[in-house]
Amino acid sequence: MTARRAVVAGRVQGVGFRFFAARAARDLGVRGWVRNRPDGCVETVAEGAEEAVSLYLDRLRMGPRVARVDSVVIEEVAPQGFADFEVSG
Q: What is the DSSP string of 7-64?
A: EEEEE-SSSSHHHHHHHHHHHHT-EEEEEE-TTS-EEEEEEE-HHHHHHHHHHHHH--
Catalytic positions, written as ranges: 18, 36
Q: How far apart are CA 53 and CA 33, in angstroms?
A: 13
Instruction: Tell me the pTM.
Output: 0.95
Average pLDDT over residues 10-27: 97
The CATH number that domain 2-77 falls under is: 3.30.70.100
pLDDT above 90: residue 77: yes
Question: Residue 89: its pLDDT value, please?
Answer: 76
